[in-house]
Structure 1
Amino acid sequence: MQQVCHVLGIDQILTPFYHPEANPIERKNRDLKPQLAILVGQDHATWDSHLAAVRYAMNSAITASTGFSPAYLTFGRELRAPSDAATDLRAIVETDNFIPNITPHLKQMSMALAEARDIHERAQAIQKKYADEGRRPPPDYKR
């Protein structure tokens, strides 16, 4: 598998076992469970009918670590609400000014991604600073 990843230019990043803090999926699951529990209430058999609403809320909420919603960073726009999905947006794409308007949008998206990366790196530096305050210095093994 490592050879295939190397040939295809894929950087394989492994997460350690039994360490949910290193796995972003486990972090999302930690957020998902209480939200589903609130919506389900006492009827636990209906959890799957609430999954779409919770997923929409999680994907459209602005995160503190990036300053943007996951949907914006993935798709370059905010998600449309289910009520907006009924509107046909083909007329916007078919107009003559669609292509000239995409260039400023791409520049804005590039700046947003750079800003999100900077915000995330600053947040990581702050977390590292507080985590390092509680650490003891490594022992000196020289004798």
Structure 2
Amino acid sequence: MSTLITELCRLGGVIQSRTTPYHAMGNGMVERFNQTLLKMLGTLDEDKKSNWKDHVGPMVHAYNATIHDSTGYSPYYLMFGRHPRLAMDSLIGLNTDDIHAKFTNEYARKLRERLKDAYKKAKDTATKTAEVNKRLYDQKAHAAKIVPGDLVLVRNVTVRGKHKICYKWENEPYLVVDNLNLDIPVYDVRRDDPLARRICRLHRNLLLPLGLPNDKSTKSVGKDIVPKNKKYVIPQRRGMGSRIDDVVPSDIHPVPRRSARNRRVPMWQTSGQYEM
């Protein structure tokens, strides 16, 4: 984002791709490789894990020399147009460069043709793999639609340490101000406060829709859409330590949850051994 990086990208003809914060899927290729590398480092012996940085190079080389299911080729082959020369190849004197050419221009022509053919096949294979993965992902992907003017909760990304039982969302509601691109699930939000002016640009995965009052006349884009005398229904865990057990006005639609008939009552509420 700095001026230096912007100028270097301009000189090199590089188009920057910016992503929203705390959204690892925006850098899918990088994050996916980091996950693979961490799993590979996890296979080291306990006495070697403390010095894991010395093993990154050999493991990355092994990764680059392995054929990928998504492309049908190894990353090394797609980069250099030939298979990597491994230690075993050097030991037995095997030459992995099978492009036979007497002149430099002939070698360059054959290498260009080989890379062109490899790129075409890798692209076709990657497209088919992506279609299969998308179809499997869409079978379980369900999301509520968010439009400017809705109230949402923002995921609390500041929690550190063990946070399995902590609140996953902030208590204060946010107002959706704008959606710059309808094809991209990225929204501009700010706190639902007339004095709040700071705009945050967040991905849809970090937002949770809230219930709204029945009075649609108060709804407007970029303004307060809920009067101050109304209460918000914040979907948090009920029970001990809950702060939403107050009486909720009847004109607010709460986030759907399990009915009281089907909800299993904890033992500590019915046994009588514990007094609140």
TM-score normalized by structure 2? 0.41
Matches of 1:22 and 1:98, distance apart in 2: 45
Tell me which residue corresponds to 1:73.
78
Tell me which residue corresponds to 2:19.
15
Gap change, CA 1:78 and 1:36, over 3 Å in 2? same
Per the alignment, in what secondary structure is the counterpart of residue 120 of structure 2?
Answer: helix
Q: Which has the higher helix share?
A: 1
Per the alignment, in what secondary structure is the counterpart of residue 73 of structure 1?
Answer: helix
Higher relative contact order (Cα pairs below 8 Å, separated by 6+ residues): 1
Q: Give the one of 103, 110, 114 matched to 1:104.
A: 110
* Aligned pairs for 1:1-143 within 5 A: 4=7, 5=9, 9-23=13-27, 24-39=29-44, 41-43=45-47, 44-84=49-89, 97-99=102-104, 100-136=106-142
Contact kept? 1:20, 1:27, Cα under 8 Å: no
Structure 1 letter corresponding to 2:125: I
Identity %: 28
**How many residues matched?**
136
| Runs (5+) with no aligned partner, structure 1 | none
Aligned CA-pair RMSD: 3.3
Q: CA deviation at 1:65?
A: 1.3
| Runs (5+) with no aligned partner, structure 2 | 148-276
Matches of 1:66 and 1:112, distance apart in 2: 9
Q: CA deviation at 1:132?
A: 2.5
Contact kept? 2:101, 2:107, Cα under 8 Å: no
Gap change, CA 1:130 and 1:98, over 3 Å in 2? same
- The CA deviation string for residues 88-140 of structure 1, in whole angstroms up to 9 with x for no partner, is x8xx9xx971432442232121010111111111211222222233345876x
Q: Bigger CA drift: 115-124 or 5-14?
A: 5-14
Structure 1 letter corresponding to 2:20: P
Greater Rg by CA? 2
